[in-house]
């Protein structure tokens, strides 16, 4: 059944108000009426049915093996036996990534659809969204599930992009399997900064909560930080927060905002990269920092780069 989705299918592309529950209901009725999906080759005829201008009457020329709709990174196809199969495509920075599949079925054209199998990662909320939406609106389930998958790929690839850009600065990196909790420690000779990012909504590409804590590793930088308290909020004698940057983390992708963070941090401490190297303490006097976070079972740890 799913092999037909490997190639880019042709079908009716729906946008805006054209994409609604009536289209899905019509798809279900067509599947059951002919025990097969119908072709969308006659776009004008299909649109007139959707608008309610006339009823659909199957004919020999209408009956085909499938009916395909293309809707915002989703391919929706009716199949023989009353199945509706969805392919969710994902992208990041205009590059195509994984596609995920979901097979649904109803007992009759008038019954609600239910999920019978899928290839979606187990840590994403398929069952929760099914219970939340399918009894009310199939469209909401299709759209919400697509947004959850796209957000997951975006969060994951933001971390991968950060590793490419700043891998030499990453001391420690923790993340949940769904990338809804991310902990990063960046280290330079004169300072280290811990970033804790939480995504409370599974369809969020940007964090809903961010905490940034900076530890200067050179004694005189602590007093320097106090002088620049307009940029960093004093937390204790050796650590401070950057509230402006915390807000930026909730508004910008991770790789870009980390670039901004490093620039602001060097400005706050009054150091250039060269000065940091000169002022850095020797390895024998610098104590390594240990980080402990309460990690759920789904957590994975990546080795420092």
* pLDDT tens, residue by residue, 89-133: 999 999 999 999 999 999 888 889 999 999 999 999 999 999 999
Query: What is this structure's pTM?
Result: 0.76
Alpha-carbon span 304 to 36, nearest angstrom = 53
- pLDDT computed for residue 53 by the predictor: 58
Residues 169-196 have pLDDT tens digits of 999 999 999 999 999 999 988 889 999 9
Alpha-carbon span 63 to 67, nearest angstrom = 10
């Amino acid at each position: 059944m799913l092999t037909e989705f490997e190639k880019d299918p042709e079908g009716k592309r729906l946008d805006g108000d054209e994409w609604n529950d009536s289209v899905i209901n019509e798809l279900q009725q067509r599947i059951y009426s002919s025990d097969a999906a119908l072709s969308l080759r006659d776009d004008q005829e299909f649109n007139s049915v959707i608008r309610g201008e006339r009823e659909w009457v199957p004919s020999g020329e209408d009956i085909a093996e499938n009916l395909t709709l293309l809707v915002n990174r989703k391919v929706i196809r009716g199949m023989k036996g009353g199945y509706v199969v969805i392919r969710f495509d994902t992208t990041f920075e205009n590059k195509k990534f994984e596609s995920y599949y979901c097979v649904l079925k109803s007992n009759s054209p008038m019954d609600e659809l239910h999920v019978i199998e899928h290839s979606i990662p187990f840590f994403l909320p398929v069952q929760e969204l099914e219970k939340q939406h399918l009894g009310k609106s199939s469209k909401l389930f299709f759209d919400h599930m697509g947004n959850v998958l796209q957000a997951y790929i975006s969060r994951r690839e933001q971390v991968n992009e950060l590793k490419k850009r700043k891998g030499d600065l990453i001391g420690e990196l923790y993340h949940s399997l769904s990338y809804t909790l991310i902990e990063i420690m960046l280290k330079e000779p004169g300072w280290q900064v811990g970033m804790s990012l939480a995504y409370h909504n599974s369809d969020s590409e940007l964090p809903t909560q961010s905490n940034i804590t900076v530890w200067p590793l050179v004694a005189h930088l602590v007093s320097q930080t106090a002088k620049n308290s307009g940029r960093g909020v004093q937390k204790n004698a050796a650590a401070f927060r950057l509230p402006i940057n915390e807000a930026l983390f909730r508004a910008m992708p991770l790789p870009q905002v980390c670039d901004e963070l490093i620039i602001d941090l060097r400005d706050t401490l009054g150091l250039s990269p060269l000065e940091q190297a000169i002022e850095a303490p020797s390895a024998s006097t610098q104590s390594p920092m240990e980080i402990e976070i309460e990690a759920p079972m789904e957590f994975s740890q990546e080795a420092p780069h």
